[in-house]
């Protein structure tokens, strides 16, 4: 399988601390790679190093199998941090400016891109009158001008409404499936990311704490018993004492998750009810990417 990207213990040091610390990730052709991390984790810095906007302090980056990444960067399109658009120009004029700046000769490419990003009907509209979703699409359109094989998108769905998010999801899936563009995407909206990503990298304080494919994640995500109870603290004491397990977690909204008794929820239910705790809900669910990510951030399943 062909690798689009491999970083080898790549780091970025700012004055006296590492924004990115010895990160080794890999992305294969055709993947949609979701980069996950809390604010300040180092996602943008890592993306900037891959795109050639920031020089690594240490380590190496291999792009398209080439250890001299700068010779391959023309194959990357990126939108990192806020999209740089000319607010007073129209969508078409914006694309024209960048087409000329990139030295691309074919004017047709601008029309093609407008169509590709679904902005043909707004080509003469001034960008400052665009919605956030339209601006994001135009920025991605600019990134697509050079016909890239690899697209790097930093928080492309941030601030979009549910319809905008859905449009963006379909658009990215289309680029990936029909245009065969490999995509690296960072997002805080994990539920959304889990609908498109085929692989994830989780970073914390500049360090990669896990790289996992969507398939592996699906196999790893544990089934659990989720119980909504009137008194979760008391429920926890009863579970520990009577069911001899600490493999549970108290959630904030009167819910408790138990990673055992999945095949026998009745035992837990009766225990709580018989001790005067009212059980409003008792369901068997599977952990979501969000649950998994939160556990990773805390350093494992609590009480396990």
Ligand X SMILES: Nc1ncnc2c1ncn2[C@@H]1O[C@H](COP(=O)(O)OP(=O)(O)OP(=O)(O)O)[C@@H](O)[C@H]1O
* Residue 299 dihedral angles phi and psi, to the nearest 5°: 90, 40
Least distance to ligand X, CB of residue 205, Å? 9
Structure tokens at 292: 């998994």
Of the candidates 5, 36, 43, 136, which one interacts with ligand X according to CB under 6 A? Answer: 43
Determine, following the binding rule CB under 6 A, whether residue 41 of this chain makes contact with ligand X.
yes
Q: How far apart are alpha carbons 260 and 281 in whole angstroms?
A: 17
C-beta closer to ligand X: residue 34 or 146:
34
CB 192 within 8 A of CB 165: yes
Cα angle 275-277-281, degrees, rounded to a multiple of 5 = 130
C-beta closer to ligand X: residue 61 or 272:
61
Determine, following the binding rule CB under 6 A, whether residue 16 of this chain makes contact with ligand X.
no
Determine, following the binding rule CB under 6 A, whether residue 102 of this chain makes contact with ligand X.
no
Determine, following the binding rule CB under 6 A, whether residue 187 of this chain makes contact with ligand X.
no
Q: How far apart are alpha carbons 154 and 161 in whole angstroms?
A: 17
Least distance to ligand X, CB of residue 35, Å? 8
Determine, following the binding rule CB under 6 A, whether residue 45 of this chain makes contact with ligand X.
yes
Neighbours of 231 (CB within 10 A): 16
C-beta closer to ligand X: residue 19 or 184:
19
C-beta closer to ligand X: residue 41 or 143:
41
Q: Is the dihedral of CA 25, 30, 34, 35 positive or negative?
A: positive
> Which stretch in 40-48, 162-170, 217-225, 276-284 sits in contact with ligand X by CB under 6 A?
40-48
C-beta closer to ligand X: residue 96 or 210:
210
* DSSP element (H, E) containing 269: helix 265-274
> Which stretch in 32-40, 106-114, 170-178, 231-239 sits in contact with ligand X by CB under 6 A?
32-40
Q: What sections of 84-160 are H helices per DSSP?
A: 91-101, 108-116, 132-144
Interacting residues toward ligand X by CB under 6 A: 14, 19, 37, 39-45
């Amino acid at each position: 399988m062909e690798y689009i990207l491999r970083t080898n213990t790549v780091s970025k040091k700012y004055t006296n601390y590492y924004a990115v610390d010895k990160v080794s990730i890999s992305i294969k052709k055709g993947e949609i790679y979701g980069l996950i991390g809390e604010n300040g984790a180092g996602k943008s810095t890592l993306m900037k190093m891959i795109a050639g906007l920031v020089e690594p302090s240490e380590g190496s980056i291999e792009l398209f199998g080439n250890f001299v990444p700068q010779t391959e960067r023309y194959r990357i399109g990126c939108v990192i941090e806020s999209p740089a658009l000319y607010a007073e120009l129209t969508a078409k004029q914006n694309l024209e400016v960048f087409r000329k700046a990139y030295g691309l000769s074919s004017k047709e490419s601008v029309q093609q891109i407008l169509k590709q990003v679904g902005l043909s009907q707004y080509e003469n509209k001034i960008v400052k009158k665009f919605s956030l979703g339209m601006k994001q699409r135009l920025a991605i359109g600019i990134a697509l001008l050079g016909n890239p094989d690899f697209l790097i998108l930093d928080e492309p769905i941030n601030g979009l409404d549910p319809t905008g998010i859905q449009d963006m999801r379909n658009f990215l899936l289309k680029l990936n499936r029909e245009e065969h563009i490999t995509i690296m995407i960072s997002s805080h909206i994990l539920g959304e990311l889990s609908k498109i990503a085929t692989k994830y990298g989780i970073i914390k304080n500049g360090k990669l704490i896990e790289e996992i494919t969507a398939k592996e994640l699906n196999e790893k995500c544990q089934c659990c018993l989720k119980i909504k109870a009137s008194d979760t603290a008391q429920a926890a004491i009863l579970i520990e004492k009577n069911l001899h397990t600490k493999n549970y977690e108290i959630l904030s909204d009167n819910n408790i998750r138990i990673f055992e008794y999945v095949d026998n929820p009745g035992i837990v239910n009766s225990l709580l009810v018989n001790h005067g705790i009212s059980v409003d809900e008792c369901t068997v669910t599977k952990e979501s990417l969000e649950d998994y990510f939160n556990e990773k951030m805390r350093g494992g399943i609590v009480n396990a």
